[in-house]
Amino acid sequence: MGRCEQDKKNAEDNSEVGSYNCPSNRDHRDSSRRAHHPNEIYVSPTVMMVMRHSERVDDCCPGWIEKCNKEGKYEPFDLNMPTRLPIQRPLKDYTRDTCITRSGAVLAQMIGRGLLMTDNTPDVIYCSPSLRCIQTATWVREMSGSKALLRVEPGLFENFHYPHGVPRFISQLQRHVFPVDKTFRPFLSLETVVGKQETNDEYNARIQLILNAIADQSEVSTVEKELKVLVVAHASTVDMAVGLLREVPRKIREEELDNIAIPVPYCSLAYLKKKCNYWVPAAHQVPSVTYEFLTTKYNHYFVHRT
C-alpha cells in the first residue's frame, strides 16, 4: 500500500478523532444527523492559497493619523488615502490596526479577478483579525465570485513587538460591515494570541498549528470536489506556509522577520497543492500583478530556501 493510500486509510479508521472532530464541526455534524441529506459528504482542502494583505496606509503616508486629524475629524491629505474610514472608531485605534489604501483596494480586486479567471474561486476563506487583512479578503472575495463568508482567525495574527501595546482590533459589532462568518469558532482565541510576548519558536509553532488545522478542516458538500481554501494574513504567513507545510518543515528565523515585507510584497500569493500529508508549491497558477516598480510576486529564492 502506497503512502497516500495508507494516509487515507488511517484517516478513515480514525474518523472520530480526525480533522472533522473540532467543536464547531461536531455541532454541525450532530445537527446534520438530525436532518441528514442523502448526498452530503465531507471534503478536505486540496488547494491552499496563502496571501499577504494589500497596501497599508501607514506605509504610504507615515504619520497619517496626526496629519489627517482635524479636530477629531478625518480629512485625507493624499489621494491614495481612503475617502472615508472603513469603520467608525477613534482615529487612534487605527495607529496599530491600519486600513488599506485606495490603490490597495484595487490591487486586492485584481487578485480576486485573477482567481476567477483561473478557476480558483475560493470555497473557504480565512483571515487574520487585522483590519487590513479583513479588507483585503473582502475585496478578493467579491471579485473572485466566492460565496464564502470570512472566517476571522486570531491565530493568524503576525508576531511583531508593539512597544505601545497590542492593536485594538475591530469588535464583533464593527465587523458587520464586512461579510464575516458570525458562526465560526476560531481555533485560538484573541486573548491567547495577544496575551503574552511570543518567542520566535512559539510563533512558528502557532502558525504551523493554525495552518495544519485549516488544512485538516473538513467541509460539508453535496458533490465530490477539489476544495480550495484562501488564507489572507501577513508577509510572514506566506513564507511560513511554504516552509512549515512541506514534507521537511522549515522555520522562519527571527532575523528574517525584520525585513520580510521585501521578499514578500503586498498581495503575494503562495499556491499550495496537497500531496499525501504535506503541501507542495505550484507555480504560475494565479497571474501576478506588475507595475513599473511593484510586483505581487514573492522572491522565489527566499521563500523556497531550505
The pLDDT value recorded for residue 224 is 86
> Any idea what the CATH number is for the domain that residue 140 is in?
3.40.50.1240
The pLDDT value recorded for residue 153 is 98
The pLDDT value recorded for residue 278 is 96
Residue 78 located in a structural domain:
no
Tell me the catalytic residues.
52-53, 234
Residue 186 has pLDDT above 60, yes or no: yes
Sign of CA dihedral 21, 51, 273, 254: negative
Domains contained in the chain, number: 1
Average of pLDDT values for 264-272? 98
Average of pLDDT values for 262-277? 97
The pTM assigned to this predicted structure is: 0.87
Residue 164 located in a structural domain:
yes
Residue 81 has pLDDT above 90, yes or no: yes
> 127: Cβ–Cβ under 8 A, 6 or more apart, which residues?
133, 134, 136, 137, 150, 151, 152, 153, 156, 231, 232, 233
What domain range is 133 assigned to?
37-55+101-303
127: nearest Cα among 26, 45, 214: 214
Average of pLDDT values for 193-202? 90
Q: Which of 6-20, 46-60, 133-147 shows the lowest mean pLDDT across its residues?
A: 6-20
Residue 185 has pLDDT above 70, yes or no: yes
The pLDDT value recorded for residue 159 is 86
Position 148, amino acid: A
Of 37 and 251, the structure prediction assigns the larger pLDDT to 251
Residue 72 located in a structural domain:
no
| 1 pLDDT tier (thresholds 50, 70, 90) | low
226: nearest Cα among 126, 301, 121: 121
Residue 8 has pLDDT above 80, yes or no: no
Residue 61 located in a structural domain:
no
Residue 200 located in a structural domain:
yes
Residue 260 located in a structural domain:
yes
Residue 8 located in a structural domain:
no
- Contact status, residue 258 vs residue 210, Cβ threshold 8 Å: no
| 14 pLDDT tier (thresholds 50, 70, 90) | very low
Residue 14 located in a structural domain:
no
Considering the chain, what percentage of its residues have pLDDT values greater than 90? 74
Across the strands, what pairs with 270?
50
Q: Which of 12-16, 234-238, 269-273 shows the lowest mean pLDDT across its residues?
A: 12-16
207-228 pLDDT per residue, tens: 999 999 999 999 998 888 899 9
